[in-house]
């Protein structure tokens, strides 16, 4: 009883960076950055203002993840469903990669961050695709944090494309049906070469995956918060990692995998 109370009390103490650094870090953190529009609405600002503020948080959390020694940070920046939004909003969103990279690419290079992208890049406007390709190229030799942007990404579209390619390779005689294993399927996905996420964070109170990395998230710890993405801080990030570390300790060695 006494112990229980002490524990409850300790829970209210904010987690520190030092404490998080003392336990195993998740290798790969994925984030669904939701709530930018709601953040703007609450302030009677245009939705674009929320997206812009959200972009500043991407920079902040990228630097922090790198400092913590996280190896891969995957960010859901634009889904295949986002094309349904008003054209003016889509046009604005498609300018953000360039805007982000114009401001922060030198910093990413200096900090040894490697930019990667998953999603169907062919369908992006030329100006967006070119800016992203330049960043991928200029950081391809970097060995620090992998910053993986999901742009025009949808998990079912990804799995569909993988199944189609596997069928073609079987038809061409390059693969036998017996060769189709879970690792083989993983290797046909856009995340090929990246470990599966250890931790998924979703902001803004929605408790669903919204077509994000469905295959890759099979064993991932999920952490949801009501905090809107533009309000998300380093402290929230530490809380998510600490929750992951507590669960990992409890299941360590005897996990359900
Ligand atoms: C976008 C800001 C973050 C909140 C979520 C929606 C709005 C950064 C990028 C980006 C993408 C690729 C890249 C460099 C930066 C981005 C979109 C939206 C479409 F190589 N933030 N951000 N792209 N938002």
| pLDDT tens-digit map of 128-155 | 999 999 999 999 999 999 999 999 999 9
SS3 for 98?
helix
239 is in an annotated binding site: no
**Which residues form the catalytic set?**
34, 82
Reported as a pLDDT band with limits 50, 70 and 90, residue 249 is confident
Give tens-digit pLDDT for 28-37: 999 999 999 9
For 93-130, the pLDDT digits (tens) are: 999 999 999 999 999 999 999 999 999 999 999 999 99
The arithmetic mean of pLDDT across residues 156-175, rounded, is 98
Provide the mean pLDDT of the chain: 94
- Calculate Rg over the CA atoms of the chain: 20
Ligand 1 center from residue 96 Cα (angstroms): 6
- The answer to whether 35 is annotated as binding is yes
Contacts for 215 with CB less than 8 Å, ≥ 6 apart: 155, 158, 159, 185, 186, 189
Q: Say how many Å lie between the CA of residue 26 and the centre of ligand 1.
A: 23
With cut-offs at 50, 70 and 90, classify the pLDDT of residue 6: very low
Task: Please tell me whether 69 is known to bind a ligand.
Answer: no
> What pLDDT is stored for residue 250 in this prediction?
74
Q: Whose CA is nearest to atom 2 of ligand 1?
A: 55
Pocket test for ligand 1, best of 50, 95, 97, 228 (most atoms within 8 A of CB): 97
Q: What is the residue with the minimal CA distance to atom 12 of ligand 1?
A: 97
Give per-residue pLDDT as tens, 193-226.
Answer: 999 999 999 999 999 999 999 999 999 999 999 9
* Reported confidence tier of residue 253, pLDDT bands at 50, 70, 90: low
d(CA 95, ligand 1 centre) in Å = 9
Helix (H) or strand (E) holding 58: helix 47-68
Round to whole Å and give the CA distance between 254 and 247.
12
- Give the distance, in angstroms, between the CA of residue 89 and the centroid of all CA atoms in the same chain: 21
pLDDT category, 67, cuts 50, 70, 90?
very high
Domains of the chain plus CATH, in order, are 24-153+198-246 (3.40.1180.10)
- Confidence at 10, pLDDT banded by 50, 70, 90: low
Chain position carrying tokens 């790969």:
28
What does the alpha-carbon distance between residue 157 and residue 131 come to, in Å, rounded to a whole number?
24
Residue 2 pLDDT more than 60? Answer: no
What is the pairing mode between strands 199-202 and 28-32? parallel
């Amino acid at each position: 009883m006494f112990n229980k109370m002490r524990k409850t009390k300790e829970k209210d103490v904010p987690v520190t960076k030092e404490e998080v650094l003392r336990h195993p870090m998740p290798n790969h953190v994925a984030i669904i950055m939701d709530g930018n529009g709601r953040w703007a609405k609450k302030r009677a600002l245009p939705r674009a203002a929320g997206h812009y503020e959200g972009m500043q948080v991407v920079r902040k959390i990228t630097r922090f993840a790198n400092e913590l020694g996280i190896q891969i940070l995957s960010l859901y920046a634009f889904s295949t469903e986002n094309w349904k939004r008003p054209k003016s909003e889509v046009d604005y969103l498609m300018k953000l990669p360039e805007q982000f990279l114009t401001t922060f690419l030198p910093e990413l290079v200096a900090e040894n961050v490697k930019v990667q992208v998953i999603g169907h890049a062919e369908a992006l406007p030329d100006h967006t695709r070119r800016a992203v390709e330049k960043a991928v190229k200029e950081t391809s030799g970097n060995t620090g944090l992998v910053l993986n942007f999901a742009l025009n990404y949808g998990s079912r579209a990804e799995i569909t494309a993988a199944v189609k390619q596997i069928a073609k390779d079987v038809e061409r005689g390059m693969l036998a049906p017996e060769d189709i294993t879970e690792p083989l399927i993983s290797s046909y996905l856009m995340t090929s070469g990246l470990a599966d996420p250890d931790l998924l964070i979703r902001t803004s109170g929605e408790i669903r995956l919204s077509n994000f990395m469905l295959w890759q998230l099979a064993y991932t710890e999920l952490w949801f918060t009501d905090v809107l993405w533009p309000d998300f801080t380093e402290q929230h990030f530490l809380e998510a990692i600490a929750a992951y570390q507590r669960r990992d300790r409890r299941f360590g060695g005897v996990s359900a995998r």
